[in-house]
Structure 1
C-alpha cells in the first residue's frame, strides 16, 4: 500500500473520490466536438489543482470521474472550481452554446460524490462499462418507437 500513497510536505495520503455531475437540464450535449473539448478542459483544470484523474468517462448527459484530490483541497471547493472554470472555458471556446444555456450556466447544480478506498477496481469497472450498459438500454428502448405497422 505504500506505493499507492501520495505525499505532501508532512503528510501521506490516499484520498480517492468517485464524482458524477451533469449538464444543465441533463441535456445530451456532451457529444463529438464538445466531448473532446470538455475532456481537455477538465484535464487541464485538474492538472492546475494537482488533482489526478485516475479514470473518467463522458456520457452523453453526465460525466463520471475517479479522482485523487489532495487533502488540502476540499471536494466541494474543487467541484466549484472545476464546474465554474470549465463552463467559462467551454462558453469562450463555443460561443453558440450561450444561446442554449444562457448566463453561462453549463453544469447543473450539485453533484454526486463517494469516497473510494477498497473497492476502487469495482468503481473503475463500473465507469468503463457504464457506456456499454447505456447503449444496451437504448437498443432495448428503440423497439418502443418503431411503428409495428410498417413491417420494419
Structure 2
C-alpha cells in the first residue's frame, strides 16, 4: 500500500477530510466568484490551524472542501472558524448576499468524512494479510 505521507516530530500520518456545508435555507446564491472567494478565505483560515486545503468546489447552494490536517488539529474549532470567517467576509464583500442572508450564511450543521487514499476494501485486505 502506498500513502502520501506527512510527518511530525514523532508521527507519520495521512489524514484527509471531505467537508460539505450548505447555505442557510439552501439559498441558491453561490456563484463561481463567491465559491472561489470562499476557497481563498478557507486557505487563510487553514494556515492558522496547520491545515492544507486541497480543493474547493460546489454547487449554487453548497460547498465541498477537501483538506489535509495534522493529528493534533482540533477539527471542530477549524470548521467553526472556517464557517464563521467565510460567512462574515462573504456577506461583507457581497451586499446581495447580505440582503438575502442578513444574519447567517451557512446552515448550522455540516458533513465531514475522513477520506483515505485507498478504498476500505484494499485496507481491510491489507490488515487481514498482516
Structure 1 stretches of at least 4 aligned residues deviating more than 3 Å after TM superposition: none
Which residue in 2 is equivalent to 1:112?
A: 111
* 1:32–1:54 Cα change, 3 Å: closer
SS across alignment from 2:19:
strand
What is the distance in 2 between the residues matched to 1:68 and 1:33?
Answer: 24
TM-score (norm 1): 0.68
Unaligned segments of structure 2, at least 5 residues: 121-130
What is the distance in 2 between the residues matched to 1:114 and 1:81?
Answer: 18
TM-score (norm 2): 0.78
* Cα drift, residue 35 of structure 1: 2.5
1:116-150 per-residue CA deviation (whole Å, 9 max, x = no partner) reads 11239xxxxxxxxxxxxxxxxxxxxxxxxxxxxxx
What is the distance in 2 between the residues matched to 1:15 and 1:65?
Answer: 14
* Cα drift, residue 57 of structure 1: 1.3
More helix by share: 1
